[in-house]
Each structure stands twice: as structure tokens, then as C-alpha cells.
Chain A
Amino acid sequence: METVLAFVIGGLYAAGLYMLMRRSIVKLVIGLALMSQAANLLIFTLGRLIRGRPALIPPDAAALAGPFADPVPQALILTAIVISFGVHAFTIILVKRAYQTVGTDDLDDMRNTDLLS
């Protein structure tokens, strides 16, 4: 399972970077979303994958025994997903406003702030 996820994460990073390199601002947003998903999966995989053993103490036991799924990475990912949801919602609106104001979705045409005045 770890091997499969490793390839998925690598694929997501590669796809995200590829999208970031494109000139369209819409693809830019997609690239950013893919990058943050890749990071989430990376945290999930690095927290060790253990199936069917939630971190719950059984009613008849006093403490957790044996290997159990670490809840911390899941909490981290949940936080990260919520944050990236908000941030990406903002980015999509920003891209829409930029497209309406500048009249293009090509990053190469958005160089006014870089030119010498």
C-alpha cells in the first residue's frame, strides 16, 4: 500500500508542478490544489498505514494494546484541508476578478507590475 501511495503522491506533485508551469491562471489554481493534496497524502502515508485499528480503547481494556492507527496525522490533514479549502476558494475568486479586470488569462500578459515604470 505504501508503494502505491508513494507513486500517487509523486504523480500528484509532478502533475501539480506541471500545471503551475503553464501560462493559464486557471491551470495555476489547479496546480496549487494538486500540490496541497499531495502534501496531505504525504502526511497520511508518513503517519504509518495501519488498517482497521482505530485509536480507541476497547470497553474491557485500560489502555491501547498493539499497533493502532495514529490519529495525529489525520488531525493534521483535517486542519490542512480546511485551510486549503478557504485559501483555494479565495484564489479562484481572485483569478476570476483578475481575468475580468485584466482581460486575459495568460500569465505572460500580467507583467505590468514587473516592468520598469
Chain B
Amino acid sequence: MDVLLILPILLPLLTAVAALLVWNRRPVQGALGVLGTVALLGAGLALLDAIWRDGVRTLQVGNWPDPFGITLSADLFSAIMVVLAGLIGLAAAVYSLGSMDPDRERFGYYPLFHFLLMGVCGAFLTGDIFNLYVWFEVMLIASFVLMVLGGERAQLEGGIKYVTLNLMASALFLAAVGILYGVTGALNMADLAHRLRYVEQPGLMTALAVLFLVAFGIKAAVFPLFFWLPASYHTPPVAVSALFSGLLTKVGVYALIRVFTRLFVQDAGYLHAIILVIAGLTMVTGVLGAVAQTEVRRLLSFHIVSQIGYLLMGLGLFTPAALAGAVFFMAHVVLAKAALFLVGGIAHRLRGTYDLKKLGGLYRSHPGLAVLFLLPALSLAGLPPLSGFFAKLALVWAGLETRQFAIVAVALGVSLLTLFSMMKIWNEAFWKPLGENDPPPAGGTSPALWLPVAGLAALTVLIGLAAGPLFVLSLRAAEQLLGM
């Protein structure tokens, strides 16, 4: 029994149950939440360390032999994702302590938060395609409730779009799993990878692959399936937005990378060309959508879409270096994006609005916040020596190696537009003097708001400084993905 593999699923579950048991004592729930996410982060790091030393780990739940039972399996990529889930969970849990309103806490915010983390970690650790569906649903149902908890009008409107599109994706995913089982008679991913090599129906295989691409594409918010994301991600409280932006779409990308490096590699050239085109279009439409926005959270939502394109670019290029770039980029974008959402939340606390037109003067009054914004923002745009620079460098380098110059040009152009977009936030919210008729500052802040932002911003710097060892780790993860 390999305890390390099951801990990242068990710990959030136990935390959620414990939080349910102290339903009426909300401060205890909050403290439990922080403890639980610290433990999750620790378990993730221990798992990463164990896999780094001993290689891929698997666990047959209930001791059923290999292709029949429920399999949990983790390689370096899964372990890195679990660590990221722990980090984002911790940041959001601490931020919630200072920002969540009592009404949401009263209706089970903390238990739901941990059920969501359980679903996310389950999706990262499962070795079975049907269980992936089940973990997706665990994650989705928790995210549905977190999305609409509070029942504000915008939340309900955004929630309907979010729920509908995600349920449609689930139905497509389920159908794809059913067809896959009908064709191969297997659900275990390692077993599937083996059996799919001997399937002599290229037409059916392509249809299946595209079905998976669409189902996970909706969840990952790629072009042209991303419209639910900017319609809904800005509606819940900012701690929830940060959690969603850090984890949910990334689970979709994780599933895409998993499926298209392991299962559908027969006519790889054809599929990966499609993925590259989608990647380019996702980057461009996301960043152009952001240009027109003046609401900080909506603007950042479009940037989530744009950054998903970079992750797909790594998958589309399909070399070890490119996949390593995607893994590295994942670590970078998850942290930077969550940090930006949380900075937006602090700005809202200080000024009472998310509207860039009404914000202003934050550099003068809160230079610390300005620094905390600039670090992840410039990192997202890809300025050295921050994390984004090395992530993009790896992807661009891989693109030049495989002579895919079009996608490299798009990636560089979009970087420039991202910088432009981040500078727009800087100019409007931080640099521009505060207008005279504007409302007075809305409320105070507490250390619980500043700590996670400072931590995440420091991590974007740290990743940049430790880019060498981390890239070696990403490369090992990519080699494991490709079965080298």
C-alpha cells in the first residue's frame, strides 16, 4: 500500500469532513482549511521527491490485479500538478480567512473548497480513464456550488453558462470513454495505451481523438470553446476566482496532455498540427479579448484563455523539450495568474471597485501592492528574470528546433500584447492619479490578504532564479510522459 499516492486525495477529503463536523464554528473551519492545504502541499512535495528518486508509482486500490482494479498512478507531471494544487489551495485558503463573507462561510464554503481540491488531485493521480471522468465530476459539482454560492445575480447568470458548457463537455467525455471501451475493452490508461496500438480502425481512432479533444477543450477553455470562461470566472468572490483560474482549466489541459501523449499517438502528426493551430488561435483571441475589457477580473479571465494557448503549444510541438516547456509554463502560469487575481481583490478592498476607469493612485498610496502586481504581471508577459521568461524561452526554443516558425511568431507577438495589457492595468489602477469624485476607500485589509499574494509573487521570482534545476525536473517529467 503506497500511502503517498492516496494522501493528496485523502487529506482534502478528511479536511472537508472535519470542516463539516464543525459546521457552526466558522473560524475553526478556516483554520482547518489552512492546515489541510499545508498538509496537502507537504504530501505533494513528498510524492514529488519519492517519484524523483524512484520513478513512476502506481497503487492498485483494493489489491485487485493490474488492469481490473482501480489504479492510481503518478509520474513527475502528476506530482508537479499536485504540488501546484497544494500551493494554490494554501494561497486561496489563507486569502479566504481575510476576505470571505460570513454568509458564504455559513453555507459551507470551506468544505466545498476542499472537495474541489480532492477532485482536482484525484484527476491528477488516477490511472484509469473512467475514474478521470468521475474525478472531473467531483471537481465540477464542487465548483458549481462555489461559483453560485452567495446567489448574486451575476453569479447565477454566469453559473448557468458555466454549468451548461461543462456538463456538455462531460457528456461528450463520457461518450468518448464508452466508445473507447467498446473498441478496446479496457479503461486502465496503461492498458489502453498498449491495446490502442493494435486497433486497425484509423477512422474511428481519429473520431475518438477529436471527441476527447473537444470534451477536454471545453474544460480547458481553448479556441473556439472558451466563451463560458470570461462569462463566469469574474462573478464569484476573488478567492474562488483565483482558485478556479489556477486549477480548473489546468485540469483540462492536464487531461489533454495525458491523453494525447499516451493514448492517441498513432497519427500524431495530423492531430498535433490541429492542436498547434488551436494553440495559436487561443493565444490570439484570448489576448485580443482582454484589450477591450476594463473590469480587472474579466480582463484577467481573457488572459487565462490566452495562456492556455501556450500550454497547448507545448503539446502540439510534441518534442521532449516542448513538453518540458509546457510543464514549466504550467507551474509559472498557475502561480502568476492566481497572484494577479488576488492583487485585483486587494485593490477592490482598498477602492471598492474592479473597474479600471474608477481605480487609480494605488502606486502612490500602496507602493507595496504595486510591486506585488508588477512581479506576476511582468512574469506573465515574459520579462527576464521572472518565471514567465524562462517558460516562454523553453517553448520558443522548442518551436525553433522543430522549425514551426508560425507558432513561434504568434507566441512572441502575444507576449507583447500581454505586456501591453498588463501595462494598461498598471497605468489605470496604479499610475493614474485618483479622480476627485471617486468614492472613498472602501475598507481595510488584513495580513491574510497580503501574505498569499506576497508568497505567490516571491515564487514567480524564485522560479525564475531556479530556472535551471526546475527545467531539468520538467524535462524528466516530459520524458516520462513520452515514455522515454
Chain B contact surface mostly: helix
Instruction: Provide the residues of chain A in CB contact with B154, threshold 8 Å.
Output: 112-113
Chain A contact surface mostly: helix
CB–CB B168/A20 < 8 A: yes
- The digit string for B128-161, where 1 denotes a CB below 8 A from any CB of A, is 0010011001001100110010010110111111
A98-117 contacts to B, CB under 8 A, are 98, 101-102, 107, 110-114, 116-117
**Tier of interface size on chain A:** 35 or more
* Given A36-B167, A87-B140, A117-B298, A79 contacting B153 (CB threshold 8 A): no
CB–CB B168/A113 < 8 A: no
- The digit string for A33-59, where 1 denotes a CB below 8 A from any CB of B, is 001101110110011100000000000
CB–CB B160/A76 < 8 A: no
- How many pairs of A and B residues are in contact by the CB < 8 Å rule? 115
CB–CB B151/A97 < 8 A: yes
* Given A42-B175, A79-B134, A90-B144, A72 contacting B160 (CB threshold 8 A): no
CB–CB B153/A102 < 8 A: yes
CA distance A63 to B167 in the complex (A): 41
Q: A83 within 8 Å of B by Cβ?
A: yes
CB–CB B355/A117 < 8 A: yes
CB–CB B157/A72 < 8 A: no
CB–CB A32/B168 < 8 A: yes
Q: B63 within 8 Å of A by Cβ?
A: no
Query: Can you show 23 pairs from A to B with CB atoms below 8 A apart?
Result: A25-B160, A28-B160, A28-B164, A32-B164, A38-B175, A39-B174, A43-B174, A46-B181, A47-B181, A48-B182, A83-B134, A83-B137, A87-B137, A87-B141, A87-B167, A87-B170, A90-B141, A91-B163, A98-B156, A98-B157, A110-B157, A113-B154, A114-B231
Query: Using a CB–CB distance below 8 Å, which chain A residues touch chain B?
Result: 20, 25, 28, 32, 35-36, 38-40, 42-43, 46-48, 72-73, 76, 79-80, 83, 86-87, 90-91, 94-95, 97-98, 101-102, 107, 110-114, 116-117
Query: Using a CB–CB distance below 8 Å, which chain B residues touch chain A?
Result: 130, 133-134, 137, 140-141, 144-145, 148, 151, 153-154, 156-161, 163-164, 167-168, 170-172, 174-175, 177-179, 181-183, 187, 230-232, 234-235, 292-295, 298, 355
